[in-house]
């Protein structure tokens, strides 16, 4: 995973043509840790400070009505006014695209970034919305019954990606 993250860090910096105005925004929960790590890698390579934030999209989900017990809501913490920034959304797995749709709606309520990009560790296909990632760690072919489980050291004690069929 660390090699994938290093590649992603380089790709994010390239995407942004440098690091000015760059803000990394992790989606709760594992996206937050991944954003933190990618930001640190960029900081090491480029010698600049990269602001990062956390976004919980629960209240913007389109299926709140149908989920059983209400999901626990995590912290939303955005570092700066996003207007005229280049916001990069970071998440662990890109699947249906509905989480990203919710994140786009939520970010719009925090300002008007000049650009929003998407960076994911795993793209498992299966999109239900017209959404694509700009930076992908790895593409994994899956079918709808499969589960992709990402573990990160900060939360799970180790870095690992499992495909459960």
If the CB atoms of residues 42 and 107 are measured against another protein, the closer one turns out to be: 107
If the CB atoms of residues 48 and 129 are measured against another protein, the closer one turns out to be: 129
If the CB atoms of residues 20 and 72 are measured against another protein, the closer one turns out to be: 72
Stretch that binds another protein, among 2-10, 12-20, 40-48, 141-149 (CB under 8 A): 141-149
Q: Within 10 A of 15 (CB to CB), how many other CB atoms are there?
A: 16
Shortest CA distance to 17 belongs to which of 82, 114, 102, 95?
Answer: 114
Q: How far is the CB of 18 from another protein (least distance, A)?
A: 27
If the CB atoms of residues 33 and 42 are measured against another protein, the closer one turns out to be: 33
* CB-based burial, 66-103: b 16+ in 10 Å, e otherwise: eeeeeeeeeebebeeebeebbbbbbbbbbbebbbbbbb
CA-to-CA separations, 160 to 41, 113, 121, 151, in angstroms, rounded: 19, 33, 11, 5
Q: Is 12 in contact with 135 (CB distance < 8 Å)?
A: yes
Q: Is 61 in the site for another protein (CB under 8 A)?
A: yes
If the CB atoms of residues 17 and 141 are measured against another protein, the closer one turns out to be: 141
Q: Is 162 in the site for another protein (CB under 8 A)?
A: no
Question: CA-to-CA distance for 95 and 107, rounded, in angstroms?
Answer: 20
Q: What are φ and ψ of residue 25, in 5° steps?
A: -125, 110
Between residue 121 and residue 140, which ones bind another protein under the rule CB under 8 A?
Answer: 128
Give me the half-sphere count of Cα atoms (radius 13 Å) on the Cβ side of residue 131. Answer: 24
| Interface with another protein (CB under 8 A), residue from 14, 45, 84, 105 | 105
Q: Is 63 in the site for another protein (CB under 8 A)?
A: yes
Residues forming contacts to another protein in the complex (CB under 8 A) are 56, 58-61, 63-70, 72-77, 81, 92-93, 95-96, 98-99, 102, 105-106, 109-111, 128, 144-145, 147-148
């Amino acid at each position: 995973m660390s090699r994938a993250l290093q590649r992603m860090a380089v790709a994010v910096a390239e995407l942004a043509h440098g690091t000015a105005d760059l803000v990394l925004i992790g989606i709760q929960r594992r996206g937050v840790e991944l954003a933190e790590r990618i930001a640190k890698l960029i900081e090491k390579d480029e010698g600049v400070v990269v602001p990062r934030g956390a976004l919980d999209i629960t209240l913007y989900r389109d299926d709140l009505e149908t989920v059983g017990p209400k999901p626990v809501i995590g912290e939303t913490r955005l570092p700066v006014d996003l207007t005229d920034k280049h916001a990069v959304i970071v998440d662990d797995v890109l699947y249906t695209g509905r989480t990203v749709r919710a994140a786009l709606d939520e970010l719009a309520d925090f300002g008007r970034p000049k650009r929003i990009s998407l960076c994911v560790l795993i793209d498992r296909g299966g999109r239900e919305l017209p959404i694509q990632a700009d930076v992908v760690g790895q593409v994994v072919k899956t079918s709808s019954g499969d589960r992709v489980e990402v573990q990160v050291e900060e939360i799970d004690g180790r870095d690992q990606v499992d495909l459960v069929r």
